[in-house]
Amino acid sequence: MRKAFSSLLLACALTAGTAWGQAPAAKPDVPLKYGATRFEKRQDDAMRKFRDNRLGAFIHWGLYAIPGGEWDGKVYRGAAEWLKSWAKVPSAEWLELMKQWNPTRFDARAWAKMMKNMGARYVKITTKHHEGFCLWPSKYSPYTVAHTPYGKDILGELVKAFNDEGLDVHFYFSVMDWSHPDWRYDIKTPEDSVAFRRFLAFTDNQLRELATRYPTVKDFWFDGTWDASIKKNAWWTAHAETMLKELLPGVTVNSRLRADDYGKRHFDSNGHLMGDYESGYERKLPDPVRDLRVTQWDWEACMTLPENQWGYHKDWSLSYVKTPVEVLDRIVHAVSMGGNMVVNFGPQADGDFRPEEKEMAEALGRWTARYGTCLYGCDYAGLPKQDWGYYTRRGDDVFMVVFNRPYSGWLTVKTNKGQRATAAALLDGTPLRVVETTSNEYNVAMPSADPGEPFVIRLTLTTTGKANNQYREALT
């Protein structure tokens, strides 16, 4: 069935390119049963919405929020959601934390307002992280919110609250599950094989349960898929993607889920992206000059505020914490290269957010309220990167997002052959001088009053004769 489905998609793409709107980039040379099912970006409405949203919030919330990085009086510097592993806590002991799960200050509507005000268009929620604790009352696991003092369906409350605010909800799901006796890191014996089959059946049940209980979910973001056990069961990664897409037409799935017949992850053995978007940019971003190839596919990056804390850690002094401008820089950087950015939050065990996270959300919100037009629905502009910041583009609107003020007071713009920069203005319409300095090179004047924050200029480009995007062509 799966093979037939893949062949059908391949046939569609190879003929008029009708299914996906574009012709394939290359003919596969390694025959694969579980490789990519398309060679170009998905162009349907659901995928466009995913892409246009551009800015998301990530929420890592689980039992690890209770110890907050400390076990038996020792504070561990590593990621708080991995504390069970750092402190070598047996699962049975770790899961005892469920008895303390009672987030009395949890208010899903307040969370939704906070993310909305920040300018996030979607929220990715950890339904289940590596520890195995489920934020929904799964009937397939004893380790869920249903069996805690709190008792209520947290995921359900969040989905409703976020959707009520007009935010899309994406589900983070860790396939690796430390609470399950049948989880295996590798398959070395026939017994491993049998146990892991049971584990995959359990995982299917949970995924089906999530998709049917919360049918407004727009995306499944898989994690914990890097072990040999999964790579040796590539069929399952292809099956899980197909199953979710049959249950929820339009749903998007990240590349991290997928492995091909040879255990190759994200990109198959023919170099084609698996899943709908690339999800390897975690706490890092592609180089804006050297890595322009990423503009050819959809991708989403995610980032932490401290160096590497996703779940709540009580001591943020242990690593550098980014400033709002540094976070904004990364958001705009991603969009300027055709990617999405998800900013992580790790709520406290009581259900509230730490003050630093609230302040960050507010600071980002003040900026997105003024300048968000340079993010939503925007894409790679096809212009060479300049030191002052980043370009983004939506249709004919090109935005210059200025982070660094040049001493000269002029912002250099280099255009493609056949393209002229004819006007520039602040978003409130205040015009800025544009001076042609040499062929395809212009200076745009800084505003007379420095906005005192990263700001946005709308640039008008006029095409003269045959425009030629040499930066795009250099990619192929």
Sites of contact with ligand FHN (CB under 6 A): 60, 79, 81, 223, 282, 302, 310
Distance of CA 72 to the CA centre of its chain: 34
* Both structure tokens of 122: 């979607």
Q: How far is the CB of 302 from ligand FHN (least distance, A)?
A: 5
Between residues 19 and 301, which has the closer beta carbon with respect to ligand FHN?
301
Shortest distance, position 81 Cβ to ligand FHN, whole Å = 5
CA 181 to chain centre: 30
Residue 256 CB, shortest distance to ligand FHN, in Å, is 8
Smallest separation (angstroms) from ligand FHN to the CB of 382: 29
Q: At its nearest, how many Å lie between ligand FHN and the CB of residue 165?
A: 23
Q: Which is nearer to ligand FHN, 256 or 354 (CB)?
A: 256
**Looking at beta carbons only, is 60 or 121 nearer to ligand FHN?**
60
Closer to ligand FHN by Cβ: residue 165 or 282: 282
Q: Which is nearer to ligand FHN, 81 or 329 (CB)?
A: 81
**Number of other residues whose CB lies within 10 A of the CB of residue 223:** 19
b/e for 333-351, b at 16 or more Cβ within 10 A? bbbbbbbbbbbbbbbbbeb
In the three-class reduction of DSSP (H, G, I as helix; E, B as strand; rest coil), residue 122 is classed as strand
Nearer to ligand FHN, 32 or 155 (CB): 155
For residue 225, which of 255, 198, 268 has the smallest C-alpha distance?
A: 255
Q: Which is closer to ligand FHN, CB of 210 or CB of 302?
A: 302
CB of 124 to ligand FHN, least distance (A): 9
446 close to 406: Cβ distance less than 8 angstroms: yes
Smallest distance from the beta carbon of 56 to ligand FHN, in angstroms? 12
What is the rounded CA–CA span in Å between residue 402 and residue 390? 7
Q: Considering beta carbons, is residue 342 or 456 the nearer one to ligand FHN? A: 342
Residue 38 or 84 with smaller CB distance to ligand FHN: 84
Say how far apart CA 43 and CA 243 lie, in whole Å: 20
Instruction: Tell me whether residue 1 is exposed, middle or buried, using C-beta atoms within 10 angstroms of its C-beta: 0 to 12, 13 to 18, 19 or more.
Output: exposed
Nearest approach in angstroms of CB 344 to ligand FHN is 7
- Nearest approach in angstroms of CB 172 to ligand FHN is 7
Which residues touch 236 (CB under 8 Å, ≥6 apart)? Answer: 200, 230
Q: What residue number has its CB nearest to ligand FHN?
A: 310
User: Distance of CA 365 to CAs 111, 360, 369, 371, Å?
Assistant: 14, 8, 6, 10
- Hey, what amino acid is at 102? N
Contact at 8 Å (CB) between 31 and 60?
Answer: no
105 token code pair: 């200050």
Quote the least distance from Cβ 130 to ligand FHN, whole Å.
Answer: 6
DSSP symbol at 446: P
Find the shortest distance in angstroms from Cβ 91 to ligand FHN: 16
Virtual torsion, Cα 156, 162, 163, 169, nearest 10 deg: -80
Distance between CA atoms of residues 223 and 238, nearest Å: 15
Name the residue nearer to ligand FHN (CB basis): 163 or 308.
308
Give the DSSP letter of residue 333.
Answer: H
C-beta of 131 vs 329, nearer to ligand FHN: 131
Long-range contacts of 42-48 (CB under 8 A, 24+ apart): 42/252, 42/276, 42/298, 44/250, 45/250, 46/218, 46/249, 46/250, 46/251, 46/252, 47/250, 47/252, 47/276, 47/298
